[in-house]
Structure formats: structure tokens, C-alpha cells
Amino acid sequence: MEDDAELRMINARKMAQLKKRVELASAPKPKEKTNREFVMENLFDRGDEVLQTAYSYYPKETDVIVDYLAKYLKEHADNDKISGGELLQVFRSLGLRFSLKTSIKVQERGKFVDLKDKFKFNRDEQVG
């Protein structure tokens, strides 16, 4: 009779361990970030815009560069983030040239206005 009770306790313990293993195995694993996502997190000051533009002009080459940047950033975690200007310089130094849409804004009456719109507005005032 004592053997039956011990056997049931051993079986119950083993079943609990098996149940725990099944739960751990079926639990959703956190998705590892791609190199592109990792690099995007380490960009600032229009860096995301530079990277998107680079992908539109040179998709294959940009993939290779992003892989190298991700590897470098993972190995040197203590470094600062990469600015858009620095990233653009990397692409240009490798011979991959592309242009970004740029605009100059000036502050007028508490609002930022494109410089071309300001000149257009001033010209219209002078004509009228």
C-alpha cells in the first residue's frame, strides 16, 4: 500500500515536470530583431530617411552594408548612435551616391515655413 502511494507521488511529480516542459516548449519565443531593425534603432537625425533612400536606390548593396553595420554595433555596444549625416557619408565613401529631399524652413510668426513659400509670399506682397 505504501508502494502505491509512493508510486503515485513519483508519477504525479513526473507528470508535473512533463507538463512544465510542454508549456515551455509551446510558449511563443521572442522574435529576434533583423539586422535592419537593429540598425534602425541605432540611427538618429534623419538616419532612418537615409537608410530608406539607400534601400530604394541600392537594395542589394544596402543589405550588405546594414549587415556590417549591425555586426559592428553589436560588437561595440558602448558607441553612440549613428546620425543621418554619418550614414550618408558611409554610403558616399563606398561610391553609392544618392540625393535626399531637403528643405529649409524659417520661423515666421511662431510657425515654421518653407523658405520657398516665404519668398513666394514676400514676392506676392511686393507685386500687390
> pLDDT digit string (tens) for 42-98?
888 888 899 999 999 989 999 999 999 999 888 887 778 888 889 899 999 999 888
What's the predicted TM-score (pTM) here?
0.59
Q: To the nearest whole percent, how much of the chain has pLDDT over 90? A: 19
Which grid cell is 54?
A: 539607400
86 and 44 inside one domain: yes
Looking at the chain, the whole-number percentage of residues with pLDDT higher than 70 is: 92
The C-alpha cell 515655413 sits at 113
Domain that holds residue 126: 103-128
Statement to judge: residues 109 and 89 lie in one domain: no
Instruction: Give the Cα-Cα-Cα angle 22, 23, 25 (nearest 5 degrees).
Output: 65
Structural domain count, the chain: 2
